[in-house]
Chains A and B, each alone.
Chain A
Amino acid sequence: MEMNIEKIWLRYFIFISVGLIILSIVIFSYIQYLDTKYQFVEDDRSLTIDRIRQNLDNQEQRIHLVGEAIRDIYLDSEYDKDGNNEQFMIILKTFPNIKNIFILNGDQIIDSHPNQSFKNSSVKDIFQTYSENNYFNNLEMLEFPITPELTAVIDIPFEYLNIEQTIHQKNFKLIVYAQDKKIIPFQLERNGNEIYTENIEFTDEQLDDVIYIKKDTTLFAFVDHRPIRLEYVLWYPSLAQSFLYFEIIAIIVGIFLSAIFPILFIRAERLSNFLQHKTIQLQDTNNDMKMSNDILKQTQKLLLKSKEKFQNFYNVSPYATFILDNDKKIESYNEKFQYMFQYQNDELVGHPFSSIVSDNGQKEAKKYFDALENSGKIIDQENWLKRKDGTEFPVLFSSVRIQDSSDKQNGYLCIILDQSEAYQIKELEQKYNALLQEQLATLKETEKQKDEFASMVSHELKTPLFPIKFHAKMIRDPDFGELNEQQKESLNQIYFNAERLETIIDDLLDSQRIELHTMKFKLSEIHLFQIMGEIYHQNEIYMQDKNILFTNVTTDDLIFKSDPGRLNQVITNLIKNSVDFVPDIGGKIEMGAYKESNSVLFYVKDNGIGISKEEQEQLFHKFYQTDTSVTRKHGGTGLGLSICKGIVDNLGGKIWIESTSNIGTTVFINIPITK
């Protein structure tokens, strides 16, 4: 921005300076022109003066002759003063150019020729007349002493003294009037045209033999002490020169200024900008200071307020607040503190902090204060403090170093939170937790005992069955001795019932295991066709004397992972159930399995009496039995299907029934294929 201003101003000042220079040149030229117009070349002047002088010398000679002649006339006794004297006439004839001859006695004209009218006039009168009639333009009056009292004045026309001078290529006519004792102004003619007579003031200066004196509007010159009337416009010769010097100086000054001005101006501009800027800065600083002052005042007010607030807070705080000095002696404390520690208003002032600390807590308190020294604050440190009556209670202790503005330490501000309640609650919590742990342990133990009991029971219950069954079979062996039919039958019954007992026990145990999620599964790879064949074979024996058409229609074969034993158990259970429901004659039971998408689908189908929808719901529940009269035939515990469901669920499969009354029932099992 500044650069632009500089340029603009530079341009202005260059313009102005150039203008001044041009103006100066113009003025100079005009002056030169005037100078040349009116210049009076010294040489010319001196030349003029010489010529004037020469002419005047010639003139003097003539006057001398005339004067001598006039003197001779007067000294002649024959001179007749009154009337025309012939001798005067002779002179006038000899010198036709002489207009008048005056004989003066002092100022009085005693005689005049040819014009007698001037007799008895004073010279002043003549002069006046001459002035009025402009005679002086053409006449010169010369003086010549005749006798000591008398002077002759001779009027001679100016033609004799006309000097034409060519001055400086201009034609000037210098008209010089010579007048005895009179000073007559210059008149300058140029090319026949009268030029103004200028009032030019000259100082008294001697220029060769010429002295120029200005009197009013008339310029007089004295040449050889004889005054001559010069009408001439003198142009002081060195004026033009002086003016020339002046011009040169003006141009130089102009250039200098034009150069300097912009710079100065720009500097000034910059300076003023700078000053403005500084002024603004100063103002800003001033404002800032004012603002700071205001803020300071406000801050002080706030500080005061906050102090008040603090005081209030301190007094009514629900927390026990107190202040320690630098030596950790108690300076002051609030009401809550008094209440908490049971001390009166001033009792503790000056006492050390340790006096409210419990015996066991002294060490901790020291630690806290060390930490406080280092970090400047401690928060919620646990400790036990002591009341006036000696009772101790748990607290949370917080403290902060008080420092004033000069970082000088001014003690500590401390806050105490009574933790008695919290402590009690903690203790209770701990008690309950302990109790809980105990009970949990007891529970676990009980569980363990139950498990152990269960396995013990299973083991103990089943152990006797082994000998019972074994003996029952063993006796029937011919190597053990021969028996009759009744005895054999009796043993059969023993065996049969032992088996039944075993089944019941197994069911109960299985059911319990399923309930307690303690049933163990032995997973292995199963070949479908093989296992179905095995199950069929095992149950076939069972069917032999029952008039039931029992078939295994499994054709698919695949390998899948599951518990073969338990699968066998489930399917066998289903088959045994079907046996209960098929008609006595023409009963059919079909078992099969095939792959269906990602699972193996097992089924046991019979042509029994069917199961109603309502009963289907209940079937898989524990202890549910349909038509107790029917099942009592085979004596079931009602656990079978629930066990089946439990096993199938644990193998990741599903079991369900499709049944139609009096047509038949099919139980499906879906086992997902896993490898």
Chain B
Amino acid sequence: MNVIVIEDNKSIRDMLCAYINAKNHNATCAENGKNGLELIKQKSFDVLLLDLAMPVYSGYDVINDMIKNQLMNKIKVVVLTASSISNNEEKNLLQKGVKQIWRKPIEPNELISGLESLNSV
């Protein structure tokens, strides 16, 4: 499974990528939405692990851009966020094509099993 992680916090970003790689998957990290989007356009990924709260270019912006570029069909998007978002926001994201919404903090095993089950669908 090819996973792209867009997360502005270095510590978390490195951690996630390291663990996913350790679990025999291919993880690519992007430190901001713009870079991440570029990478998505260039390469093919199975899953996008997207942080919402990012400065300048948030996770929402990434999603909207992906919709514009019709990239939502090409990749399964999972939102991983520390923010408490409302039911309406959740609905909105899911309608836009986001597959799952996970909360930080997440357990390692939950993370991996979640990604794997998502990919197998």
Beta-carbon contacts under 8 Å, A441-494 to B: 459, 462-467, 469-471, 473-474, 477, 479-480
Q: Which of B28-36, B57-65, B70-78, B101-109 contacts A (4 or more CB under 8 A)?
A: B101-109
| Cα distance, A467 to B13, chains bound together (Å) | 9
CB neighbours (8 Å) of A459 from chain B are 53, 82-83
Q: Please, which residues of chain A bring their CB within 8 A of the CB of B108?
A: 470, 473-474, 477
Residues of B within 8 A of A479 (CB): 22-24
Tell me the bound Cα distance from A462 to B9 in angstroms: 13
The residue of chain B having its C-beta at the shortest distance from the C-beta of A476 within the complex is: B108
For the complex, give the distance between the alpha carbons of A524 and B15 in Å.
35
Minimum CB distance partner of B88 in chain A: A522
Cβ of B42 < 8 Å from any Cβ of A? no
Nearest CB of A to B88, in Å: 9
Interface of A is mostly: helix
Least distance between B79 CB and chain A CB atoms (Å): 15
**In the assembled complex, B69 has its CB within 8 A of some CB on chain A:** no
Give chain A residues whose Cβ lies under 8 Å from the Cβ of B113.
none
| In the complex, A520 has a CB within 8 A of chain B | yes
Compute how far the CA of A234 lies from the CA of B12 in the bound complex, rounded to whole angstroms.
Answer: 180
What A residues does B107 contact at CB under 8 A? 469-470, 473
Name B87's contact: one of A465, A480, A524 (CB within 8 Å): A524
- Interface SS majority for chain B: loop
How many whole Å from A480's CB to the nearest CB in chain B?
6
Q: Which of A471, A502, A520 contacts B86 (CB 8 A)?
A: A520
Contact call B22/A480, Cβ cutoff below 8 A: yes
Does B19 touch A at the CB level, under 8 Å?
A: yes
* A466 to chain B: closest residue by CB: B105
A466–B22 contact, CB under 8 A? no
B13 nearest in chain A by CB position: A467
The reply to whether A522 and B86 contact each other, CB–CB distance below 8 Å, is: yes
Are the C-beta atoms of B105 and A470 separated by less than 8 Å? yes
B120 within 8 A of A: no
Measured between alpha carbons, how far is A471 from B14 in the docked complex, in Å? 11
Contact of B105 among A465, A477, A522, A524 (CB under 8 A): A465
* B19→A474 contact, CB < 8 A: yes
Which residues on the B side are within 8 Å of A522 (C-beta)? 86-87
Most interface-central of B16, B104, B105 (chain A CB within 10 A) = B105
A542 to chain B minimum Cβ distance, whole angstroms, is 15
Residues of the B chain whose Cβ atoms lie less than 8 Å from the Cβ of A473: 107-109
> Once the chains bind, are B82 and A466 in contact (CB under 8 Å)?
yes
Kindly state whether residue B95 has any CB partner on chain A within 8 Å: no
Chain B residues, Cβ within 8 Å of A524: 87
Render A504-525 as a binary contact track against B, CB cut-off 8 A, 1 for contact. Answer: 0000000000000000101110
A474 to B12, CA, bound (A): 12
> Which A residue's beta carbon lies closest to that of B83?
A459
Given contacts A522-B87, A524-B87, contact A466 B53 (CB under 8 A): no
Residues of A within 8 A of B117 (CB): none
Q: B19 → chain A, closest Cβ, in Å?
A: 5
- Considering the complex, give the chain A residue whose CB is closest to the CB of B10: A467
Q: Is the CB of A471 within 8 A of B9?
A: no
Complex contact A470–B22 (CB within 8 A): no
C-alpha gap A464/B15 in the complex (Å): 12
Contact of A463 among B9, B16, B86, B87 (CB under 8 A): B9
Given that A473-B108, A479-B22 are contacting pairs, would A467 and B84 also be in contact in the complex, using a CB cutoff of 8 Å? no
The reply to whether A474 and B15 contact each other, CB–CB distance below 8 Å, is yes
